[in-house]
């Protein structure tokens, strides 16, 4: 976040000082308020060129200049603007309010670089000065800065503790904007820990606290993070309009790190929705913009998304290059959140048939998510480990791992994980010859992925469903499922799975065969589908519609829902 500087010296120029410095300071501050960051820098540089500036004026100008560079995500330049204050002796001549502000700006500037220990040291010093000299705004800003730095390091417990301290102080001092920042931060911690409902509540509360304040940066951040919550729950369609709503806010505020973050997330959602060409264009634009500033984390996450896109299309060499660069950047930065990088790398190895490497990546993802206390990340890694072990022929180990994670996922009520769980359950059932059970699981997985809009996963479930029907002897249904998968893989240019689906279709008997399913078995299977869908209202309605149409020949099937007005 960008920390406001509003405690600088406002007194008239004393005899012997440059008389034009205060108008330049006011002009720089006004430019920052209007998101004209480059203009603010011009005013600051003009002020710095004046002779005989007082120490308070010089510190004020340098803080304003650093803030403008931070807003442009050019953090190294921000540190250079404040380089003369890095030693405590240089700050000791300043009034306490400015000492706190200089430390805050130094902490925020270094927080955007790889020097997180230095950032933490300056943030702690700002808090100490603010406490000793009773500077309420600086104290809240110091807690917020510490919380964000701890969150970046994956120390979610410490991050939550400091966001709570910031919220309490802001509430006590009647600072609703800073309180909104603190509540938004608590939402980010909940998001990291997989507490979706808590994250949504926090983001909505932060928006309420803003009332009529413009706060374009925070408003944009809230929408970006709300989009992340719904995307991680499988709401890809819902995430796209939220990101498209956030982009004008952050573009108006001209904050590159948020602009590229929104675009990168938009590209990822489009990838999940199967809009491959648009996704690639958006991701490549986000990558170029992120590299033009110091939005290093966004560069890493965008490289990961591009790696996944190339992987799905069978361009494994390009995918590996993107994913390795992403992981190297994260390791260099010293951040331990974003276990998704290892997860994506593991999925790439799995699709390429490099199963031992896949196990290593999924294990790394699991360890990262365990350090973070992220149950969603742990469950996702464990499910993929089951797939990798199964691919290696380690059936007993796969069954053991699946038994460990199954109940945990069913209690989470996470749609994405539930869809993956059904896929893996179907694969395990197919291995032991339980075709009817496998068909039930794959059908449920296909319903879930269809509901979320993930076209690739939907096609993958259809591929598995087709193979299960083929083994059960139902050629008609096998051909229908495999053909549906093939059409989607063709549209997505997902060549590895397109090849596998084509091979499965080529070995189907030309003469249609039917399975020995009885009507009683069909009815029991239908009831099981409905019971397993009961954890989600949307999924239950979707599954009921499907069953009425496909198994009971109802056409059309229309579901009516009462609106909040009772219509």
pLDDT in tens, 463-521: 999 999 999 999 999 999 999 999 999 999 999 999 999 999 999 987 655 544 444 44
Give the C-alpha distances (Å, rounded to integers) separating 344 from 42, 184, 320, 323: 44, 28, 10, 8
Query: 520: how many CB neighbours lie within 10 A of its CB?
Result: 8
pTM: 0.81
Question: What's the CA gap between 227 and 243, in Å, rounded?
Answer: 6
In this prediction, residue 541 has a pLDDT band, given cuts at 50, 70 and 90, of: low
pLDDT of 526 strictly over 60: no
Helix, strand, or coil (residue 212) = coil
pLDDT of 75 strictly over 70: yes
Q: What is the mean pLDDT of residues 198-225?
A: 93
- What's the pLDDT at 2? 42
Instruction: Kindly give, in sequence order, each residue whose CB lies less than 8 Å from that of residue 42, ignoring residues fewer than 6 positions away.
Output: none
- Given a contact cutoff of 8 angstroms between Cβ atoms, the answer to whether 1 and 181 are in contact is yes
Least confident of 13-17, 150-154, 186-190: 13-17
- What's the pLDDT at 10? 38
pLDDT of 18 strictly over 60: no
Percent of the chain with pLDDT over 90: 73
Question: What's the CA gap between 209 and 512, in Å, rounded?
Answer: 64
């Amino acid at each position: 976040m960008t920390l406001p500087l509003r405690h600088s010296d406002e007194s008239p120029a004393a005899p012997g000082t440059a008389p034009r410095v205060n108008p330049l300071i006011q002009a720089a501050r006004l430019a920052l308020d209007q998101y004209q960051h480059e203009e603010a820098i011009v005013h600051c540089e003009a002020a710095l060129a004046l002779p005989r500036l007082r120490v308070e004026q010089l510190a004020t100008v340098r803080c304003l200049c650093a803030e403008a560079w931070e807003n442009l995500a050019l953090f190294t330049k921000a540190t250079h603007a404040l380089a003369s204050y890095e030693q405590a002796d240089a700050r000791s001549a300043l009034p306490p309010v400015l000492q706190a502000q200089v430390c805050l700006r130094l902490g925020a500037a270094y927080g955007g670089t790889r020097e997180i220990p230095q950032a933490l040291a300056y943030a702690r010093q700002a808090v100490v000065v603010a406490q000793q000299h009773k500077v309420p705004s600086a104290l809240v800003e110091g807690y917020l800065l510490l919380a964000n730095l701890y969150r970046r390091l994956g120390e979610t417990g410490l991050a939550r503790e400091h966001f709570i301290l910031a919220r309490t102080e802001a509430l006590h001092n009647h600072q609703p904007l800073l309180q909104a920042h603190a509540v938004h931060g608590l939402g980010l911690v909940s998001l990291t820990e997989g507490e979706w409902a808590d994250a949504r509540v926090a983001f909505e509360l932060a928006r309420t606290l803003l009332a009529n304040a413009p706060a374009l940066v925070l408003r944009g951040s809230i929408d970006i993070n709300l989009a992340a919550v719904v995307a991680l729950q499988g709401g890809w369609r819902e995430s796209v309009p939220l990101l498209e709503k956030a982009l004008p806010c952050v573009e108006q505020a001209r904050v590159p790190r948020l602009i590229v973050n929104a675009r990168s997330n938009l590209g990822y959602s489009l990838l999940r929705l199967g809009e491959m060409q648009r996704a690639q264009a958006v991701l490549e634009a986000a990558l170029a913009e992120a590299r033009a500033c110091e939005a290093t984390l966004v560069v890493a996450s965008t490289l990961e998304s591009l790696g996944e896109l190339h992987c799905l299309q069978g361009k494994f060499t390009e995918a590996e290059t993107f994913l390795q660069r992403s992981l190297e950047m994260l390791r260099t930065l010293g951040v331990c959140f974003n276990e998704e990088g290892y997860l994506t790398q593991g999925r790439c190895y799995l699709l390429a048939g490099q199963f031992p490497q896949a196990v290593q990546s999924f294990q790394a993802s699991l360890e990262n998510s365990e350090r973070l206390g992220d149950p969603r990340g742990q469950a996702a890694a464990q499910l993929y480990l089951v797939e990798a072990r199964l691919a290696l022929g380690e059936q007993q180990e796969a069954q053991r791992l699946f038994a460990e994670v199954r109940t945990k996922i069913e209690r989470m009520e996470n749609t994405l994980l539930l869809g993956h769980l059904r896929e893996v359950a179907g694969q395990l059932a197919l291995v032991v010859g339980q075709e009817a059970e496998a068909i039930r699981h794959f059908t449920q997985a296909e319903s879930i992925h269809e509901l979320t809009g993930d076209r690739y996963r939907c096609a993958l479930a259809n591929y598995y469903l087709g193979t299960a029907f083929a083994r059960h002897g139902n050629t008609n249904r096998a051909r229908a499922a495999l053909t549906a998968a093939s059409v989607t893989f063709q549209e997505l240019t997902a060549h590895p799975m397109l090849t596998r689906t084509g091979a499965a279709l080529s070995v189907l008997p030309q003469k249609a065969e039917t399975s020995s399913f009885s009507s009683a078995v069909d009815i029991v299977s239908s009831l099981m589908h409905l019971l397993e869908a009961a954890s989600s209202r949307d999924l239950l309605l979707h599954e009921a519609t499907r069953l009425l149409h496909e198994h009971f020949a109802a056409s059309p099937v229309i579901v009516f829902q009462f609106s909040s007005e009772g219509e």
